[in-house]
Amino acid sequence: MRLMDVVDSELLPGVITTRIDDAVGWARKYSIFTYPFVTACCGMEFMSTACSHYDLDRFGAAFPRFSPRQADVLMVVGTISHKMAPVLRRIYEQMASPKWVVAFGVCTCTGGFYDNYATVQGIDKIVPVDVYIPGCPPRPEAVLKGLMLLQEKIRKQGWKGQ
């Protein structure tokens, strides 16, 4: 394991050596503060994932912040209308770097079946997206898989983020 080369040396028992990049990436991936931008029915599935049955806390991602300035991950959960789009964009811009965006459900990925005058056809037209979780709504397992993919991405990005 490159991340944590445990040096089981007799000289320095209990000392770990690693690269700063790896250490920061590892720390960040287990301390995700999410901003839940919940607009529609996917929110129910987000709640069930966050609660004790599926337990987002295991991933260090259980702590929702309702100020974008304190959040690392923007969870966009539910249909985004063109009227809502400027708000979502502003929330994203208010978040401090490093920051990531998860598109939760097909509505956020592509607009889903709301192929109409009112709905943004995929939030990647407004904000950059790191992980897409398909499903209408996605099952909690899919959400956890998406979260783990995001954690992997955060770890690989190291201290630079992004």
Partner 1 sequence: MSSVRETLRAELGAAVLSARGEGLDSVLVLDAGAVPGALARAQALGCNVLVDITCVDHLRWVPAGRGTPSHPDRMPRWELPKPPSRFKLVYRLMALDAGQGAVRERLALECWLEGDAGPASARSLWPNADWLEREVWDMFGVRFSDRPDIKRILMYEEFVGHPLRKDYPIGKRQPLLGVDDGAAPAALSDEELRPSPGGKRP
Q: Using CB under 6 A as the criterion, which residues of the chain lie in contact with ligand SF4 when the complex forms?
A: 40-42, 78-79, 105-107, 112, 136-137
User: Least Å distance between CB 92 and partner 1?
Assistant: 11
Number of residues that make up the chain: 162
State how far the Cα of 20 lies from the Cα of 17, in Å rounded to an integer: 9
Residue 102: closest CA among 66, 148, 56: 148
For residue 88, give both structure tokens: 């979502």
Q: Does 101 bind partner 1 (CB under 8 A)?
A: no
Q: Does 93 bind partner 1 (CB under 8 A)?
A: no
Q: What is the DSSP string of 101-137?
A: EEEESHHHHH-TT--SSSB-S-GGGTS--SEEE-SSS
Residues binding partner 1: number (CB under 8 A): 12
Tell me which of partner 1, ligand SF4, none is bound by residue 120, counting a contact when its beta carbon lies within the kind-specific cut-off of 5 to 8 angstroms: partner 1
Of the pair 36, 78, the CB lying nearest ligand SF4 is at: 78
Q: Does 125 bind partner 1 (CB under 8 A)?
A: yes
CA distances from 20 to 4, 25, 100 (A): 11, 8, 21
Q: Does 86 bind partner 1 (CB under 8 A)?
A: yes
Q: Does 117 bind partner 1 (CB under 8 A)?
A: yes
Tell me which of ligand SF4, partner 1, none is bound by residue 85, counting a contact when its beta carbon lies within the kind-specific cut-off of 5 to 8 angstroms: partner 1
Of the pair 112, 146, the CB lying nearest ligand SF4 is at: 112
Whether residue 87 contacts residue 81, with contact meaning beta carbons closer than 8 Å, is answered with no
State how far the Cα of 151 lies from the Cα of 128, in Å rounded to an integer: 17
| Residues contributing to the site for partner 1 (CB under 8 A) | 82-83, 85-86, 89, 116-118, 120-121, 125-126
